[in-house]
Amino acid sequence: MKLTSDQIKHVAKLANLPLTPDEEEKYSDQLSKILEYVEQLNQVDTSDVESTFNVTGQSNVMREDETTPSLSQEEALSNAPRKKDSMFVTKGVFEEQ
C-alpha cells in the first residue's frame, strides 16, 4: 500500500512535525515499504490472543502521597529557550505571537 501525499501531510500535522516537500516524498516511499513489510503480521492468527503492553506484570504501583524535594524553579527553567518572570514563554494559543 502506497501512502499518498495527503496522508503524509495529515500524519505530519498530527505529529506536529514540520516536513519539507523532499522529506514528504522520501517518507512516503520509505513508510510504504516498511508498512508493506509489516503486513506479514496479518499471516498470524491472533483471534484468541491477549495483548501484551507490559511484560513485568506490575500494575498500579503506588507510593505514599508525601512531598519530597524536587527541582527548584531556577533549575526547572535552566534549559528553556525563552523565559520571562521565572516562567516558560510558550506560543500563543489563540494567535501567532
32 lines the binding site for other proteins (CB under 8 A)? no
Longest dimension (CA), the chain: 58
Cβ atoms within 10 A of the Cβ of 83, count?
A: 13
14 lines the binding site for other proteins (CB under 8 A)? yes
93 lines the binding site for other proteins (CB under 8 A)? no
| 2 CB-near residues (< 8 Å, 6+ apart) | 28, 32
87 lines the binding site for other proteins (CB under 8 A)? no
Closest separation in Å from C-beta 31 to other proteins:
6
**Residue window 55-74: x/- pattern of binding to other proteins, with contact defined by CB under 8 A:** xx-x--x-x-------x---
| 9 CB-near residues (< 8 Å, 6+ apart) | 24
Three-class SS state of 34: helix
Closest separation in Å from C-beta 19 to other proteins:
7
46 lines the binding site for other proteins (CB under 8 A)? yes
